[in-house]
Structure 1
């Protein structure tokens, strides 16, 4: 097969096929007397395996996996796959902790206007040093007055501080709170977060399914190499 024959099935360019070979994603091709590459069904299976892995593991990890297998570094390739699955499991656990934390939250009142560290600490019943500690951990991100250097807490910052305060009283650790606050900021508040969490769950599920599909193509490629 020519590069274009391999490329056509996946809507790629012939140059992309050559680049994949040069990168070690595809096994080295034999050449004609005039230097043209000759690809085989084994190369087609390698390409399917790589593209399947990309969907579940990402381009960089998929590239490293294929390079390792093509260099007969099987243990390195399997370790990369294991680490990618572990990352997916960690992401699932993070999602579960965020969902559990949300169930423990009381409604947060709508805030209006900016405030400073002293008044906010007084409203929450904590010391200003506690707010500074939360800021250092990235849980609250007040801006600074360019003239005085004082911390200025926007309504969104006050919302985050209230959420952190609730969760800390509920026994959550700072490292457990961080992903929740990040999701609240991304969603623009607690109310829209439910749909964001559903989308997050859907993306994790799609990633898991893609990993299964990529594994099937990879297994077919490895079996073909053994023939």
Structure 2
């Protein structure tokens, strides 16, 4: 909080808005949404805000980059509604999601490393031989096909599923991630990206970006936590 903004100082909506690069309507909207605590009113009905409102607004804006607008809104609504434990649970859930994303990224990197020999193979194979190679049932491969994570072509004469080298690559990647406990709906977007890239090598930049985004989000969550803690401390005075 700026040194010239002390407890007891009354702020007009325009003062609070300008201090955060917002419009006065945005400030009123935040109050109406429960992101800010309710404002006091002058005898003429004008809103007046305090240093606590400034801290609340700063906390919300700091929370958004790490938690997203919806979760940041819920956090502030719970704090202002007196259910701080629920607000802290939401914070914990976001941190847990980032940790899960990091685990997923590590599993993806490990799975991609294991794909080298398979991606280099040539020739077609069928359900039974591929299932035996992976140590799974043929029914599992058919389930993956229904989920869209493997997409073998059909032999026009026999109707049998035919897995080319790219299909084998996809199947092994799915197998590795399933062994890591990931759901098919979590795996599907990655497989789509591998197919669009034409292989795993072009995904290196994607993985670097993924690392960077996770680091950026973690840093943003640290900043949000500091701002939220300052607001919580002001409410305890």
The list of structure 1 runs, each at least 4 consecutive aligned residues, that deviate by more than 2 angstroms after superposition, is 122-131, 141-144, 150-155, 160-163, 165-168, 170-187
Aligned pair partner of 2:169 in 134, 154, 162: 162
Aligned pair partner of 2:179 in 170, 173, 192: 173
The runs of 5 or more residues in structure 1 that have no matched partner are: 112-118, 145-149
Q: Please report how far the alpha carbon of residue 14 of structure 1 lies from its aligned counterpart in structure 2 after TM superposition.
A: 1.1
1:84 matched to 2:99: no
The runs of 5 or more residues in structure 2 that have no matched partner are: 1-10, 132-136
Q: Within 5 Å, which residues of 2 pair with 1:188-227?
A: 188=197, 189-227=199-237
Tell me what 2:142 maps to: 132
Any idea what the Cα deviations from partners look like across 1:55-105, whole Å, max 9, x if unmatched? 111111111111111111121111111111111111111011111111211
Q: Structure 2: how far apart are the matches of 1:166 and 1:22?
A: 48
Distance 1:75 1:103, change over 3 A: same
Distance 1:173 1:167, change over 3 A: same
TM-score, normalised to structure 1's length? 0.79
TM-score, normalised to structure 2's length? 0.76
Distance 1:142 1:167, change over 3 A: closer
Q: Please report how far the alpha carbon of residue 22 of structure 1 lies from its aligned counterpart in structure 2 after TM superposition.
A: 0.6
Q: What value does the CA root-mean-square deviation take over the aligned residues?
A: 3.2
Tell me what 1:66 maps to: 76
Q: Within 5 Å, which residues of 2 pair with 1:26-37?
A: 26-37=36-47
Q: Structure 1: how far apart are the matches of 2:217 and 2:29?
A: 26
Number of residue pairs aligned between Structure 1 and Structure 2: 213
1:41 matched to 2:71: no
Any idea what the Cα deviations from partners look like across 1:174-198, whole Å, max 9, x if unmatched? 8548556633532523111111011
Tell me what 2:14 maps to: 4
Tell me what 1:183 maps to: 190
1:57 matched to 2:56: no
Q: Structure 2: how far apart are the matches of 1:190 and 1:123?
A: 25
